[in-house]
């Protein structure tokens, strides 16, 4: 039987967008060997008498989660300084030194505690006009690209790590590259053109291709493959 965990959770909290951040330390113990940061946050919020290490009552911690099985992207946050999904971060693996530090993603406006406003992801895709005007026919060979691209969670981890992305800038990052790849793979040749222009401006030109984004993508999306594929179609005008 694997063991549970006993860790100190250090949470960077903030009551509102304007309020100053503060660090709260909470001891959390669980017999569940599979417990994740999401489990810890849920349990802490469930306990009305939960105290922090200084003896203060812990007010409900604001954070987002929904599926608890790394499929919805809601629970992205900085964990030990790396953008990750709370529901996919096992305490037993990441709390080896007995401490886990949890912070909101830094590239997005903080609403409260660990909740950030990631609406820029949707706004960017609107700017790029990422949609289909006409029905498409999926050719067999594009299936793999379309499939891979459809796996994006819109979690924003890739944007957090990207040296070139900032909210409000022209560069929309991998969170736009991935969905746009699907469209580029699906659109007939003539209709690719408009999208190709937006792709060049909002993805291709800003990207340094270091692929730091690939390493943190919790869905494990094959970003290089999509990048190569989309560049070929949109920039080098090759029909794959």
Partner 1 sequence: MAKVNIIGAGLAGLSAAITLAEQGYECNLISNFPSERAQSVLAEGGINAALDTCGEQDTVENHFEDTMRGGVYLADPNAVWGLVQNAPQVVQRLADMGVPFNMENGRILLRSFGGQNKKRTAYAKSSTGKFLVYALIYESRKYEARGLITRFCHHEFIRLLLEEERGVRVKDTYTGRQYDFVGNVILATGGINGVFPGMTTGTVHNTGDVTATVFAQGMRLSNLEMMQYHPTTIGISGKRMLVTEAARGEGGRLFVNREGSPWYFMEEKYPELKNLMPRDVVAREMYFVVRREDTDGQVYLDMRGLPGDVWKRKLSDLREELLHYLALDPAKEPIPVEPGIHYFCGGIDVDERHATNLAGVYAAGECCSQYHGANRLGGNSLLGAVYGGKVAAQSVMADGDMKPQDGSVRAVDVSDAFAGEASPALIEELGKHLYEGLGIVRSEADLSKALGLVCELEDTCNCQRETARIALAKAILKSALARRESRGAHYREDYPDRDETFQRITVADAGEGKICISWKDIPERRGV
The two structure tokens encoding residue 208: 């340094």
CA distance 25 to 95: 14
- Residue 207 sits in the site that holds ligand SF4 (CB under 6 A): yes
What is the footprint of ligand SF4 within residues 44-103 (CB under 6 A)?
73
* Residue 221 near residue 148 (C-beta atoms within 8 A): yes
- Interface residues with ligand FES (CB under 6 A)? 65-68, 70-75, 85, 87
Sign of CA dihedral 38, 41, 45, 49: positive
- Residue 215 sits in the site that holds ligand SF4 (CB under 6 A): no
What one-character-per-residue DSSP string does 15-51 give? Answer: SSSSSPPEEEEEEEEES-TT-BHHHHHHHHHH-TT-B
- Residue 167 sits in the site that holds partner 1 (CB under 8 A): no
85 binds, among partner 1, ligand SF4, ligand FES, none (CB under 5 to 8 A by kind): ligand FES
- Residue 1 vs 137, nearer CB to partner 1: 137
- 157 torsion bin: left (phi>0), alpha (psi -120 to 50), beta (else): alpha
Among residues 188, 156, 193, the alpha carbon closest in space to that of 73 is found at 156
175 binds, among partner 1, ligand FES, ligand SF4, none (CB under 5 to 8 A by kind): ligand SF4
Among residues 76, 45, 34, the alpha carbon closest in space to that of 26 is found at 45
Q: Which of 67, 136, 146, 219 binds ligand SF4 (CB under 6 A)?
A: 219
Q: Which of 170, 208, 237, 238 binds ligand SF4 (CB under 6 A)?
A: 208
The two structure tokens encoding residue 157: 């981890």
Strands (E), 80-194: 82-85, 99-103, 110-112, 115-116
Q: How far is the CB of 209 from partner 1 (least distance, A)?
A: 25
Q: Which of 9, 12, 50, 73 binds partner 1 (CB under 8 A)?
A: 73
- Residue 10 vs 154, nearer CB to ligand SF4: 154
* Residue 226 near residue 178 (C-beta atoms within 8 A): yes
- Residue 132 sits in the site that holds partner 1 (CB under 8 A): yes
The two structure tokens encoding residue 72: 């919805």
211 binds, among ligand SF4, partner 1, ligand FES, none (CB under 5 to 8 A by kind): ligand SF4
* Residue 184 near residue 193 (C-beta atoms within 8 A): no
Q: How far is the CB of 165 from ligand SF4 (least distance, A)?
A: 6
- Which residues contribute to the site for partner 1 (CB under 8 A)? 32, 34-36, 38-39, 42, 45-46, 48, 64-69, 71-74, 87, 111-112, 115, 117, 119, 122, 125-126, 129-133, 135-138, 140, 143, 146-147, 150-154, 179, 182-183, 186
């Amino acid at each position: 039987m694997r063991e549970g965990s006993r860790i100190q959770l250090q949470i960077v909290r903030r009551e509102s967008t304007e309020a100053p951040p503060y660090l709260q330390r909470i001891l959390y113990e669980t017999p569940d060997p599979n417990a994740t940061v999401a489990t810890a946050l849920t349990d802490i919020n469930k306990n009305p008498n939960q105290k922090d290490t200084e003896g203060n009552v812990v007010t409900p911690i604001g954070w987002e989660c929904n599926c608890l099985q790394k499929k919805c992207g809601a629970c992205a946050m900085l964990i030990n300084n790396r953008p990750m999904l709370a529901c996919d971060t096992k305490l037993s693996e990441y709390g080896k030194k007995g401490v886990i530090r949890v912070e909101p993603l830094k590239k997005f406006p903080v609403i409260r505690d660990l909740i950030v406003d990631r609406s820029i992801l949707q706004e960017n895709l609107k700017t790029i006009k990422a949609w289909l005007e006409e029905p498409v026919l999926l050719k067999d060979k594009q299936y793999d690209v379309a499939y891979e691209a459809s796996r994006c969670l819109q979690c924003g981890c890739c944007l957090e790590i990207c040296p070139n992305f900032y909210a409000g800038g022209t560069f929309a990052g991998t969170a736009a590259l991935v969905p746009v790849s699907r469209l580029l793979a699906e659109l007939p040749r003539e209709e690719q053109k408009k999208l190709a222009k937006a792709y060049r401006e909002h993805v291709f030109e800003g990207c340094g291709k270091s692929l730091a984004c690939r390493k943190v993508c919790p869905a494990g999306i094959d970003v290089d493959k999509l990048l190569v594929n989309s560049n070929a179609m949109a920039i080098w005008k090759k029909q794959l």
